[in-house]
Chain A
Amino acid sequence: NAGVTQTPKFRILKIGQSMTLQCAQDMNHNYMYWYRQDPGMGLKLIYYSVGAGITDKGEVPNGYNVSRSTTEDFPLRLELAAPSQTSVYFCASSSPAGGYTFGSGTRLTVV
């Protein structure tokens, strides 16, 4: 039972580069989320999705885009990387009953 799988685990980007953080879950959860965690802080919501084809902004969406073409996958896209996007990114999913599962995180550094 893999749960929530995030790739890559680490990445260094140059300013202005683009990349996609992958997230996949195998629990058939409708709800999926992307959070970012800055050093010494709690997690903040970037985007979330309540089902395939439906996405919505969270607290800190600027500089990011998401898509949800399938129930399993919820990729996060950074189009023009900036140093302010240096952070640890967590994907999560949940069921209607509230069972919440986090991925293991992606550490992104923008230089």
Chain B
Amino acid sequence: AQTVTQSQPEMSVQEAETVTLSCTYDTSENNYYLFWYKQPPSRQMILVIRQEAYKQQNATENRFSVNFQKAAKSFSLKISDSQLGDTAMYFCAFMKQNPGQNFVFGPGTRLSVLP
């Protein structure tokens, strides 16, 4: 079975600064996907970024980038130029590569961006 660990229950960052959220996972699969989801107080699950395990290049989406270390089973999220709207819960998630697979979520990190 796969497990996902997020060791930082809460973090805070000053507006315009950079913050990194940690995620590690355990799997025996070789091909899989990794995700970061954002959940603001509205409860909506919003996809931030996605990484295919077979790709060595780290995924980037505007101010969001990941550091994917496959051998170490580490998948951290870096948020640059933090904005007040980034305040939310952030969940790291794992999914096997086969169609129709479900997510395995980490427990989440609550990020507060301070003015």
Binding site for B on A (CB under 8 A): 30-31, 33, 35, 40-45, 48, 50, 58, 88, 90, 92, 94, 96-98, 100, 102, 104-105, 107
**Distance between Cα atoms of A96 and B103 in the complex (Å):** 14
Q: A95 → chain B, closest Cβ, in Å?
A: 8
| Residues B43 and A104 in contact, CB atoms below 8 Å apart | yes
Q: Is the Cβ of B102 less than 8 Å from the Cβ of A45? A: yes
With A88-B43, A105-B43: A96-B100 Cβ-Cβ less than 8 Å? yes
Out of A41, A90, A97, A100, which one reaches B108, CB within 8 Å?
A: A41
User: What is the predominant secondary structure among interface residues of chain B facing chain A?
Assistant: loop
In whole angstroms, what is the CA distance A100 to B102 when docked?
Answer: 10
- Bound-complex Cα distance A42 to B95 (A): 14
B105 at the interface (CB under 8 A from A): yes
CB of B44 closer than 8 Å to a CB of A: yes
Query: Beyond the given A42-B105, A88-B43, A107-B43, could you list 20 further A-B residue pairs with CB under 8 A, ordered by the A residue number?
Result: A30-B100, A31-B100, A35-B103, A40-B107, A42-B4, A42-B93, A42-B108, A43-B91, A43-B105, A44-B105, A45-B102, A48-B100, A48-B102, A58-B102, A94-B100, A96-B100, A97-B99, A98-B99, A104-B43, A105-B43
Give the top 4 A-B pairs by smallest Cβ distance, nearest first.
A42-B105, A102-B45, A31-B100, A96-B99
Residue of B4, B99, B105 near A31 (CB, 8 A) is B99
Distance A96 CA – B100 CA, assembled complex (angstroms): 6
Instruction: Write the nearest CB–CB distance from B104 to chain A, whole angstroms.
Output: 8
Provide 7 A-B residue pairs closer than 8 Å at the C-beta atoms, listed in order of the A residue: A40-B107, A41-B108, A43-B103, A45-B103, A92-B45, A97-B99, A105-B43
CB contacts (< 8 Å) of A107 on chain B: these are 43
A19 to B42 alpha-carbon distance, docked (Å): 24
